[in-house]
Amino acid sequence: MRMTARPENVHQTRLLRLLRDEGARSRAELGDVVHLSRSKLAVELDRLVELGLVEPAGLAASRGGRRSNIVRLSRHLRLIGIDIGATSIDVAVTDGGLEILGHVSMPCNVREGPDVVLDHALDLVGKLRGQGLIDEIHGAGIGVPGPVSFREGVPVVPPIMPGWDRFPVREVISQKLGCPVLVDNDVNLMALGEVHAGLARSAEDFLLVKIGTGVGCGIVVDGRIYRGMSGSAGDIGHIRVDDNGPTCVCGNTGCLEAYFSGAALARDALAAARSGRSAFFAQRLEQAGALTALDVADAVAAGDPVGVRMVREGGRRVGQVLAGLISFFNPGLVVIGGGVAGLGHVLLAEIRSVVYRRSPPLATGNLPIVLSELGDTAGVLGATRLISDHIFSAT
Amino acid sequence: MRMTARPENVHQTRLLRLLRDEGARSRAELGDVVHLSRSKLAVELDRLVELGLVEPAGLAASRGGRRSNIVRLSRHLRLIGIDIGATSIDVAVTDGGLEILGHVSMPCNVREGPDVVLDHALDLVGKLRGQGLIDEIHGAGIGVPGPVSFREGVPVVPPIMPGWDRFPVREVISQKLGCPVLVDNDVNLMALGEVHAGLARSAEDFLLVKIGTGVGCGIVVDGRIYRGMSGSAGDIGHIRVDDNGPTCVCGNTGCLEAYFSGAALARDALAAARSGRSAFFAQRLEQAGALTALDVADAVAAGDPVGVRMVREGGRRVGQVLAGLISFFNPGLVVIGGGVAGLGHVLLAEIRSVVYRRSPPLATGNLPIVLSELGDTAGVLGATRLISDHIFSAT
């Protein structure tokens, strides 16, 4: 495996991240920002060009003297983001600036185990390669729907991923793709996606709440992912909402996920269809033979009162849990994402209403609670951001 | 005001903190740890001696060659820790190594306002001075029972501190004592005390739960206090435990503090005494005319079943909230402190039981939940640690 070139010192790291986040810059402009002497800056940039990480890109407009040379990240840099969800895989390829060049996905049940699922993921990378979007791959980030030992690059006792416990995901994919690889929890990567390109760009401490098949939370402290002692930080799906609630897959009663998640919504929609309480769901069930959270979104859009009520009650439960977490963590921003975020403003209004009533005024005074604007790309984008932070670090 | 000398670079900072945390060391031993050349180390240490921060302390035993000189923090360094609670003030003086040389306290209601309360605090400093323990003061840390803007050194909308909102605590005390001063939330300072001398010395991410008149939480990330967006992080007393619970001072129903805190215990003990459910509390009430949380601790010690039940039910509520926070934060350690922690093992057993049942096994597998061993000194010690980190930093 050919090793991807890495920067050799903090100045080179700083220059690479500037070019990634701000785009092409003239040498003069870079000098203004990094506070290096002109000759020292030239040495570092020349070295980055030699390493194949940076390339010249013509002359800048004059600032009164000699025209300065523009540099940019090498156009040949390619990063892969792989987002393995409970029921789907997304794969994207970006350039060094994390612009998405191609994005493909397929349905896939994570319960099929690592061999099958990772083969599918590699097939999707092959598909992007077939589109002529990839030559050499410089790094890949992978998200999985469960707790991860970030240091070791393996899932750890992931509840909905049978067969994945301590499977060497990082090592296997690194060998197959011939590049550095990092593995993280999928919700953490969505949070990183928001840090890079979403509403959290300027937030230091924020929470990304993902409501999909399950419910999870990405925690960002000082612009970096907080993973906790054993990599399970943000695992909020089984926080108790009520002692006398429905039984959860985890065996406890009254967990948040048992009240509100993609799975819980599908269950409640089915019950409403069968009991005759909702003509909308009954008709859908007859047509499709099954119901999912997407049908609930359609019910809300169609104004079905049973669907609207389900979302409002779910939003209230999410809001209760979130109110406690906001009291505790005092974040600067909360972003709601994931499939169920498609339920949109009905959900958001209910969450906000509970949080603003139940959290301390000091914690909510300047607290925006918003829906993610990144949609399906948050996870894959976060994955490329993760690996890019790694390969753009001095070794 | 004479300015306290401060270190001038990161090497000096590192040396001061080593001497603070590890005690006197020979120059040779320090050289082994800080990776400076012998001559560079000598320059930095000589400068610290010149600044009056470090002093020679004789010769070390020979390690085979010339005997090395021992250095230690100047014996003249004096730091003050002031811990203002809801109903008491504690003041301690330490040397540079944060050894407590003297500790005095008095009952004082924080509602009397900043002028009265800070005068009392300064009187206590005077008392220590009168004991010959203080000559020059090099820095002071102050904890108050409410949210603080750490950057500005002022309380911010503190609920139980009328008259304190944005009162310039740091500035006033800094002028009176003639030294650098930092102000923080009292629970944050207890957590810092645990980091310095308690069970959290080797924990990177941990929670200090204080159960006193109210309930609060100190959050430590990577060995540093996490304060959140507006300084209210850890404000867990008003997290909802149940929709149909007792009304809280904050106006909501079912807050943790309304179920379990010094104030709630006193309320419940009074009710038990008046209703005749507990002969123990009835007798106490007759003797003393009032009941406090201390009477509940006595009831538990005496085996009064009503008292034991109050503590177990309270512990269950604290455990419920804590289980959620542990799911979210995945700490490496939880320390329970504050006055009500005197209820001891009955309380701890109940908290543990709920947490270990309700939090994800991955988060609790290696999670110790323990009672603080620092008692009343955690807050004042944390206050001196806070200011010592500050004055032992390069300017």
Read off the CATH number of the domain in which A348 is found: 3.30.420.40
Is the pLDDT confidence value at B342 over 70?
no
**Could you tell me if A53 and A85 lie in one domain?**
no
pLDDT, mean of residues A251-260: 88
Determine which of A196-200, A215-219, B3-7, B246-250 has the lowest per-residue pLDDT on average: B3-7
pLDDT, mean of residues A45-54: 92
Share of chain B above pLDDT 90, in %: 67
Is the pLDDT confidence value at A56 over 50?
yes
Reported as a pLDDT band with limits 50, 70 and 90, residue A100 is very high
- For every residue of A222-255, DSSP letters joined together read TTEE---SSS-TT--TT-BS-TTSPBPTTS-BSB
- Flag if A221 and B221 touch (Cβ within 8 Å): yes
Q: Of B8, B5, B43, B50, nearest to B27 (Cα)?
A: B43
Q: Cβ distance A110 to A165 under 8 Å?
A: no
**Could you tell me if A353 and A216 lie in one domain?**
yes
**Could you tell me if B212 and B348 lie in one domain?**
yes
Q: What is the C-alpha to C-alpha distance for residues A246 and A255, in angstroms, rounded to an integer?
A: 8
Please check whether residue B2 lies inside any domain of the structure. Answer: no
Q: Return the H-helix or E-strand segment holding A14.
A: helix A10-22
For residue B282, the model assigns a pLDDT of 94
State residue A191 phi and psi, 5-degree precision.
Answer: -60, -40
Buried residues in B267-290 as b, exposed as e (16+ CB within 10 A): ebbbebbeeeebebbbebbeeeee
pLDDT, mean of residues A244-270: 87
Greater pLDDT, B281 or B340: B281
Note the pLDDT tens digit of each residue in B300-327: 989 999 999 999 999 999 999 999 999 9
**Could you tell me if A90 and A66 lie in one domain?**
no
Tokens 């924020």, residue located: A206
> Angle CA(B57)–CA(B63)–CA(B68) in degrees, nearest 5?
30
Task: Write the single-letter amino acid at A372.
Answer: S
Determine which of B176-190, B279-293, B299-313, B330-344 has the lowest per-residue pLDDT on average: B330-344
Sequence-distant (6+) residues with CB within 8 A of B121 are B82, B84, B89, B91, B142, B173
**Could you tell me if B301 and B205 lie in one domain?**
yes
Classify B274 as helix, strand or coil: helix
Please check whether residue B223 lies inside any domain of the structure. Answer: yes
- Flag if B331 and A228 touch (Cβ within 8 Å): yes
Share of chain B above pLDDT 70, in %: 98
Is the pLDDT confidence value at B2 over 80?
no
pLDDT, mean of residues B131-149: 94
Q: What is the C-alpha to C-alpha distance for residues B171 and B118, in angstroms, rounded to an integer?
A: 12
Q: How many distinct structural domains can be found in chain B?
A: 3
Note the pLDDT tens digit of each residue in B241-258: 887 888 887 788 889 999
Note the pLDDT tens digit of each residue in B150-164: 999 999 988 889 999
Is the pLDDT confidence value at A83 over 70?
yes
Classify B356 as helix, strand or coil: helix
First-to-final CA distance of chain A: 17
Q: What is the C-alpha to C-alpha distance for residues B262 and B347, in angstroms, rounded to an integer?
A: 13
Is the pLDDT confidence value at A1 over 60?
no
pLDDT, mean of residues B168-182: 97
pLDDT, mean of residues B194-206: 89
Task: Write the single-letter amino acid at A368.
Answer: P
CA of B5, closest CA in chain A: separation in Å? 29
Helices (H), A221-343: 256-259, 262-274, 279-288, 293-301, 305-329
pLDDT, mean of residues A349-357: 93
**Could you tell me if A285 and A382 lie in one domain?**
no
B343 φ/ψ sector (left φ>0, alpha ψ -120 to 50, else beta): alpha
Please check whether residue A2 lies inside any domain of the structure. Answer: no
Determine which of A189-193, B183-187, B347-351 has the lowest per-residue pLDDT on average: B347-351
Strand partners, A140: A80, A181
For residue B341, the model assigns a pLDDT of 61
Is the pLDDT confidence value at B58 over 90?
no
**Could you tell me if B98 and B152 lie in one domain?**
yes
Q: Of A100, A79, A89, nearest to A386 (Cα)?
A: A79
Q: What residues of B are in contact with residue A234 (Cβ under 8 Å)?
A: 328, 330
**Could you tell me if A176 and A261 lie in one domain?**
no
Determine which of A52-66, A227-241, B81-95, B111-125 has the lowest per-residue pLDDT on average: A52-66
Please check whether residue A44 lies inside any domain of the structure. Answer: yes
Is the pLDDT confidence value at B175 over 90?
yes
Domain stop point among A55, A73, A91:
A73
Q: What residues of A are in contact with residue B329 (Cβ under 8 Å)?
A: 219, 228, 233, 328
pLDDT, mean of residues B91-106: 96
Residue of chain A nearest B368, judged by CA positions: A229
Is the pLDDT confidence value at A3 over 60?
no
Q: Cβ distance A278 to A299 under 8 Å?
A: yes
How far, rounded to the nearest angstrom, does the alpha carbon of residue B63 sit from its chain's CA centroid?
A: 40
Note the pLDDT tens digit of each residue in A120-165: 999 999 999 999 999 899 999 999 999 999 999 999 988 889 999 9
Q: What is the C-alpha to C-alpha distance for residues B393 and B238, in angstroms, rounded to an integer?
A: 36
Q: Cβ distance B155 to B170 under 8 Å?
A: no
* Pick from B236, B327, B331: CB nearest A229: B331
Task: Write the single-letter amino acid at B337.
Answer: G
Tokens 């001075």, residue located: B129
How far, rounded to the nearest angstrom, does the alpha carbon of residue B1 sit from its chain's CA centroid?
A: 28
State residue A299 phi and psi, 5-degree precision.
Answer: -60, -45
Distances (CA, A) of A254 to A158, A238, A308, B358: 21, 8, 21, 10
Q: What is the C-alpha to C-alpha distance for residues A219 and B327, in angstroms, rounded to an integer?
A: 12
Task: Write the single-letter amino acid at B143.
Answer: G
**Could you tell me if B357 and B381 lie in one domain?**
no
CATH code of residue B36 = 1.10.10.10
Domain stop point among A39, A54, A73:
A73
Please check whether residue B5 lies inside any domain of the structure. Answer: no
Q: What is the C-alpha to C-alpha distance for residues B313 and B241, in angstroms, rounded to an integer?
A: 12
For residue A341, the model assigns a pLDDT of 61
Strand partners, B85: none
Burial of A15 (0-12, 13-18, 19+ CB in 10 A): buried
B46: number of Cβ within 10 Å: 12
Greater pLDDT, B93 or B376: B93
Residue of chain B nearest A243, judged by CA positions: B242
Note the pLDDT tens digit of each residue in A271-280: 999 999 999 9
Please check whether residue A4 lies inside any domain of the structure. Answer: no
For residue A338, the model assigns a pLDDT of 84
Domain stop point among A22, A41, A73:
A73
Residue of chain A nearest B149, judged by CA positions: A362
> Angle CA(A247)–CA(A253)–CA(A257) in degrees, nearest 5?
75
Q: Cβ distance A20 to A98 under 8 Å?
A: yes
Is the pLDDT confidence value at B328 over 70?
yes
- Flag if B330 and A357 touch (Cβ within 8 Å): no
CA of B346, closest CA in chain A: separation in Å? 22
Pick the residue of A230, A241, A250, A317 with the most B CBs within 10 A to test the interface with B by mutation: A230
Is the pLDDT confidence value at B9 over 50?
yes
**Could you tell me if A300 and A213 lie in one domain?**
yes
Task: Write the single-letter amino acid at A81.
Answer: G
Q: What is the C-alpha to C-alpha distance for residues A27 and A68, in angstroms, rounded to an integer?
A: 6
Tokens 């060497």, residue located: A168
For residue B243, the model assigns a pLDDT of 78
Please state, rounded to an integer, the average pLDDT across all residues of chain A. 91
State residue B16 phi and psi, 5-degree precision.
Answer: -60, -45
**Could you tell me if A216 and A357 lie in one domain?**
yes
Residue of chain B nearest A248, judged by CA positions: B358
Structure tokens at A14: 């700083």
**Could you tell me if B238 and B190 lie in one domain?**
no
CA of B360, closest CA in chain A: separation in Å? 8
Q: Return the H-helix or E-strand segment holding B84.
A: strand B79-84
Please check whether residue A3 lies inside any domain of the structure. Answer: no
Is the pLDDT confidence value at A310 over 50?
yes
Q: What is the C-alpha to C-alpha distance for residues B263 and B240, in angstroms, rounded to an integer?
A: 17
Is the pLDDT confidence value at B290 over 80?
yes
Please check whether residue B1 lies inside any domain of the structure. Answer: no
For residue A2, the model assigns a pLDDT of 47
- Flag if B329 and A328 touch (Cβ within 8 Å): yes
Write out the residue range of the structural domain in which residue B360 sits: 201-371
Task: Identify residues of A whose CB sits under 8 angstroms from chain B CBs.
Answer: 147, 156-157, 204-205, 217, 219, 221, 226-236, 238-240, 250, 252, 320-321, 323-325, 327-332, 357-358, 360-363, 365-367
